[in-house]
Amino acid sequence: MQVQALIALLLPLAAASGWYTARRHYQRKFLEEHVHPLTQAYRRGLNYLLDDKTDKAIAAVGQILEQDDESLEVQIAFGNLFRRRGEVERAIEIHTRLRATVGLTESQRARADFELALDYLRAGLYDRSESLFLSLVESKTHGKPALQQLLLIYQQQKEWQKAIDCIIPLRRVMKPKHGETAAHFYCELAEEAMNFHRLKDARDYLAQALKDDAHSVRATIAKGRLELGNGEYRQAFESFQSLEGQNPIYLSVVLPHIRLCSERLGQERELMDYLDALYQSYGLVSAAVECAIRLRQRDGIAAAIDYLIPILEKTPDSLAISHALSMLSEDHHHGSQKMRRLSALLKDMMEGGQQFCCEHCGFGSSQIYWRCPSCQYWGSVRPTGPFSALDVQEDDSQKPR
């Protein structure tokens, strides 16, 4: 009985041992036949790459693909590495071979097309790159990144209408990375039209810009400049005035244009009241300085100084103080050589100053840019503080014809 019991106990153990031994045997056989060759191919490819033997590295990558139909990521990784190293032709060769592989799924082929398009873009082959990105616009996996890349291409090439066609569907699914708007692109088209004296086209583009973004400061300023240059002073004044409802800080940029409109319309008194209202409403010291300059012409230096000093005590501004000192230096009763010298020093200090600053990267400039030259963000460069209207120069396009 004991022997039978022992046999009954050992039989299951023997069966389990046999099953485990057989399992280990087949696992080892699988590894020898599949994993080890792939591992060796990986190692060879990496070694070749490290030794700058790119031809052999590509051959090793091809061997991996032949042995493992799931090596998409490896192929793409190798291609991207070549692209980052500046060996774009190698990257194109790998990704071209990959997209020609039989049996790729739709998402895998889209991934290969996307990487190849990036290769072409890096190589400066914009037509080929654009063609591939366009083919991916409807892709579920790569539609959005393809639109983003197309948007970059069109901005680099200044193809603003294509950029508009691209940004409209893109912003339905995501927020553009660099503040791109169709309004900015319409304004670019309007500026091109104005440069070629196609005023009707420019008006139409600006109307479309404001339709896309009713708060587009850029479109409003461009519209006012266009009207001013065409002698439409009332309309121009109203356009510039509408900046109050968009972003009052930009009123400092258009004060010279507002002044010119008022002069052409013969509204000196109305202009002074408006300038004072701009300071009272928005603290715009540059408007107060312009008002003081006109008050000096009408009522004398003493009246201008009496108006300006309380404002400067409340809101100190170096450029405004410079103008006040200039007025004092002209007064023979109060002026002196020291005041003239101090006025000159203050003006020197203000020259070349950063009157505009990018809210995104901090880029500073003495002139306004609608697209930051540093970080390439749109609409991020804004006035940093109050400016004198006298320091904003008019260009030829703003002079009446």
Spatial contact of 394 and 211, defined as CB atoms under 8 Å apart = no
In whole angstroms, what is the distance from residue 21 CA to residue 205 CA? 79
pLDDT tens, position by position, 69-124: 456 777 788 788 889 889 899 899 989 988 888 888 999 999 999 999 999 999 99
Spatial contact of 211 and 244, defined as CB atoms under 8 Å apart = no
In whole angstroms, what is the distance from residue 318 CA to residue 25 CA? 87
Residue keyed to tokens 């990144």 = 145
Q: Which of the two residues, 324 and 119, has the higher pLDDT score?
A: 119
Q: Cα dist. 370→44, 111, 187, 374, 379 in Å?
A: 52, 35, 10, 12, 5
Say what the pLDDT of residue 49 is. Answer: 53
Question: Phi and psi (nearest 5°) for 356?
Answer: -130, 150
Could you tell me the pLDDT band of residue 395, with boundaries at 50, 70 and 90? very low
- Counting every residue written for the chain, the total comes to 401
- Res 10 pLDDT > 80: no
* 47-67 mean pLDDT: 57
- Res 254 pLDDT > 90: yes
| pTM to 2 decimal places | 0.75
Lowest-confidence region among 203-212, 235-244, 246-255, 384-393: 384-393
Q: Which of the two residues, 302 and 21, has the higher pLDDT score?
A: 302
- Res 16 pLDDT > 90: no
**Which domains, ranges and CATH numbers included, belong to the chain?**
215-351 (1.25.40.10)
Q: Which residues contact 176 (CB under 8 A, 6 or more apart)?
A: 151, 167, 170
DSSP notation for 48-77: HHHTT-HHHHHHHHHHHHHH-TT-HHHHHH
Say what the pLDDT of residue 262 is. Answer: 94
